[in-house]
Amino acid sequence: MLPIDLSGRRALVAGVADDNGFGFAIAKALAAAGASVCVATWPPALNIFLNLIERGKIDDSRRLADGSLMTFERIYPLDATFDTLADAPEEIRTNKRYAERGDFSIEGLATQLVADFGEKPLDIVVHSLANGPEVKKPLLEVSRHGYLAAVSASAYSMVSMVQRLGPLLRPGGSFSSLTYMASERVIPGYGGGMSSAKAALESDTRTLAFEAGRKFGARVNVISAGPYASRAASAIGIIGKMVEYCERNAALPEQLDAMDVGNTAAFLASDLARGITGTTVYVDKGYHAMGMAVDALTTVAGAD
């Protein structure tokens, strides 16, 4: 037996606001492997997430194989579009959903982690963050603001997290993030500059693997997950069609389960993957390997 054992390690999963996405599945897999898990949540969603936990609304989702409930060591506020609190406009800092949260920036998160756990508090950091305010717009219609906002929230936030959390990693630490194959192939309907943001994230992963590897001794990888109908992904507008299409045309004709991604993230964080860095790992039932849609092949085969 070759187990994934993360006992004694602390993980931070940024981008968990409910029990329905990849971030939650990754947190659950890390907890199942023995890690202590902290999560970071977008401030406007934090009260809702806390209420879901306190009222037992997601107890079924939190239940681990041994019957226990996954617990979060800490739940932090985080708006990863801001490197420091001073970067946030006054209307954000004074907004009631933000004002009561203290320093919700990436730097604020790093400072609070050190205050809570000491100088080297982390072993694992997971970036499960993405946002494109104009994701429903074709690239030809995207504004400069919308494009840069997508890159800022979905790609640069990873760079900023490695900058500020890299020094907090203990030896053998790792970073991972989530991408999508729109970074390398055209996915009509996945717009707003998000395809560009994911391409930047993958390119940055390779460079960060070198730089953070030499500076912090950390590994950096990215998981290219297939489409999944999470609540956050509903913003795309066509996520249901994307899921169905990939299910029909992937090498393994079945829908992706969020825990497929969660388990891969746990593996990448473990010593079993200590030789893997700077890599894009596909978890999409083999869809990325297909050069022709099965739908198209069936049409061709049935032609006169």
**Cα 223 from Cα 172, distance rounded (Å):** 19
Q: What is the phi-psi region of residue 30: left when phi exceeds 0, alpha when psi lies from -120 to 50, beta otherwise? A: alpha
Cα Rg for the chain, rounded, in angstroms?
A: 19
**How many angstroms separate the CA atoms of 103 and 275, rounded?**
36
Q: Residue 178, exposed/middle/buried by CB under 10 A (0-12, 13-18, 19+)?
A: buried
15 assigned binding-site residue: yes
Is 180 labeled as catalytic in the residue annotation? yes
Residues constituting the chain: 304
Helices assigned H by DSSP within 100-234: 106-117, 144-151, 157-165, 194-216
CB atoms within 10 A of CB 263: 20
Among the options 76, 180, 228, 287, which is catalytic? 180
Which tokens go with 93?
A: 């800092």
Catalytic residue among 147, 156, 190, 287: 190
Residues in the annotated binding site:
15, 129, 198
Binding residues for NAD(+): 15, 129, 198
Catalytically active residues, by annotation: 180, 190
